[in-house]
Structure 1
Amino acid sequence: MPVIDMPLEELYAYQGRNPKPADFDDYWQRALAELEAIEADVKEEEASFQFPFATCRHLTFTGVRGAQIHVKAIIPHQPPAGAEKLPAVLEFHGYSMNAGDWTSKAAFAAAGRAVFSMDVRGQGGLSEDTGGVSGNTLQGHITRGMQDGEDELLFRHIFLDTVQLARLVMAREDIDETNVSVTGWSQGGALAVACAALEPRVKRAAPVYPFLSDYLRVWEMDLDVEAYQDIRRYFRRFDPVHAERDSFFERLGYIDIQHLVDRIQAPVLMGTGLIDPVCPPSSQFAAYNKITSEKEIVLYPDFAHEALPGMRDRIFTFLTGR
């Protein structure tokens, strides 16, 4: 079996390298309190694209710090057989990308599941990035807000966007609030994890090779060159002699999903390629090993950060309960 990281038995025992801040729980309690004070002001309009079996809509809501968050929503005309309301799937996209084509969500909608696919603020979709921080905004979402304090970290706000979306969906009259699940790949996998951790009513979570985990481990492996290149850019621009290295990684610990996963109550299905140089397996196992709910990881020994054959079918079966 190809190896770019630890042997498999060590991966299953690995507990992560990035420090967890001492006030981590207070930090997220404070963040969720800020979210609860937001008036979402949800708006909907029908999309130009439509399915014969479902209505496609554009949703926007006001997130923390006043950002307007855009969501593609597909609402089936009928719930699954035997159900009074629609189950729902929340979908999150990869780093720098967007919510994708309507047809990419058709399978869930055809099975009677409402789909809500969120554009991450400041990336490739229609959501708004309100800015207001010092330093780099051209790149560097991982480190965005680092110089202004942990409450200004961009991924703090993005994690809260996922929670707000989940709560708004659960509050809809047409949705079964007990059957809302989450999924995503890479950054989307990280956001699915964060959403399930911070909104414990999520029913099931299906992250694939999740990003935003164990930053120090990625840096020590010299893999801060692709998705994690924000770390290297930050040091080169703002701390070239690494004088603040320890405090830098401790602050990143606030938005490290490995420190959130023990809050997850939902069953988790995860997919991982064992030769992934973008989100290395050990960084993913740092999170997986701390999940205390029912869990399963599907390993692809010869695959990297790419399409994993059969994984989307597994996720469909897992999230639809078939």
Structure 2
Amino acid sequence: MPMLDMPIEELHKYKGTNPCPKDFDRYWEEALKELDSIDPMVEFILSDFKAPYADCFDMYFIGVRGARIHAKCLKPKNSSQKHPALIMFHGYRGDSGDWMDKLPYVAMGFTVVAMDCRGQGGLSEDTGNVKGPTYGGHIIRGLQGEPEDLLFRNIFLDTAQIARIVMDMEGVDSKRVGVTGYSQGGALTIACAALEPRINKIAPVYPFLSDYKRVWQMDLAKDAYEELNYYFRFFDPLHKKEDEVFNKLGYIDVKNLAKFIKSEVLFTATLLDNICPPSTQFAIYNNVISKKQLRIYNDFGHENLPETNDAIFKFMSEL
């Protein structure tokens, strides 16, 4: 078997290297209290994209710290019964994608919502208000301030907020909501289900934002994780604050959030992934304690995975 990382036997046992802060649970309890205080002021604006069996909207809501968040929302036309919903999250620096690729789920009777991450390639805002410099990266944005300043904290809260909004939509059965995404989208899928435990099914694919110290130790702080390298080179070249940095990143490490998940999980991992290393993926999966199944692509990296979209579609169709 090709091997980039640990032997497969070790991967199945590995739960992570990056520390989990001692007050991790309290941190997220307090974050969710902040989210509870927000009036999302949800707006639906009819899109000029048309489909014969879908009503398509640009959806906006207000997230924590006042950011206006955008999502594409597609609802099945003339649906008279409660129906399932699917939430989609995109890859790092990307956006919610085309309308067209959501339509197969709408044709199956799903409401589909795809969120633009704040400050990335879509229409959602990044309102800033963090202390200290960054090198254009969201992982390190806010790292020199308090843990509450970390930008991904707010993005993770956006995922929980959009889940709440979807569950409250007219016609949606709140007990039949699924979430999926690749890479960063996989990480946000984990965060969403951890922070909104009513989610029924999730299907993350080679998730990002996991086990930062392991990435660093493997000398893979490049590509998607390159800002970790730039942070130390520019702001801590002697690594005097290395322990503090990795401990603080532990607040936004999805392997640490995985224990909160109650959803059924279909997890897809790749063993030749030099973007999101296999051990960082398995660290998430091995910390999930809910019902779960693992699909492993031995010969693939961070790339298109044949049959994966079909497997996710079949899994979500059970809703």
The alignment covers a number of residue pairs equal to 319
Task: Give the RMSD, CA atoms, in angstroms.
Answer: 1.1
The answer (yes or no) to whether the contact 2:269–2:282 under 8 Å persists in 1 is no
CA distance in 2, matches of 1:274, 1:5: 8
Question: How many Å separate the matches in 2 of 1:105 and 1:136?
Answer: 37
C-alpha distance in structure 1 between counterparts of 2:63 and 2:299, whole Å: 40
Counterpart in the other structure of 2:109: 112
What is the distance in 1 between the residues matched to 2:135 and 2:73? 29
Unaligned 5+ runs, structure 1: none
Stretches of 4+ moved more than 6 A in 1? none
Cα contact 2:135–2:230 (8 A) shared by 1: no
State the TM-score, normalized to the length of structure 1: 0.97
**Aligned pair 1:93/2:94, yes or no?**
no
What is the CA–CA distance in structure 1 between the aligned matches of 2:55 and 2:230, rounded to whole Å? 43
CA distance in 2, matches of 1:70, 1:231: 28
1:41 corresponds to which residue?
A: 41
> Match for 2:107: what amino acid?
A
Structure 1 residues 212-291: aligned runs within 5 Å: 212-291=209-288
8 Å contact kept, 1:95–1:227: yes
Find the aligned partners of 2:290 and 2:219 in 1 and give their Cα distance. Answer: 32
For residues 188 and 153 of structure 1, the distance between their equivalents in structure 2, rounded to whole angstroms, comes to 18
Distance of 1:288 and 1:202 partners within structure 2: 17
Aligned to 1:314: 311
- Cα distance in 2 for partners of 1:284, 1:310 equals 19
Q: Deviations over 1:259-285 (max 9, x none)?
A: 111111111001111100000000000
Contact 1:95–1:188 (CA<8 Å) still a contact in 2?
yes
Matches within 5 A, 1:154-193: 154-193=151-190
Residue 39 of structure 2 aligns to a residue whose secondary structure is: coil
Unaligned runs of 5+ residues in structure 2 are none
Structure-1 separation of matches of 2:105 and 2:279? 31
Kindly provide the amino acid, as one letter, of the partner of residue 147 in structure 1: Q
Letter of the structure 1 residue corresponding to residue 187 of structure 2: A
Indicate if the aligned counterparts of 1:140 and 1:234 stay in contact, CA closer than 8 A. no
Aligned-pair CA distance for 1:46: 0.6
Q: Percent identity?
A: 53
Query: 1:140, 1:233 within 8 Å by CA — same for their partners in 2?
Result: no
| TM-score, length basis structure 2 | 0.98
Q: SS at 1:211's partner residue?
A: coil
Paired letter, 1:66: G
Q: Which residue of 1 aligns with 2:74?
A: 74
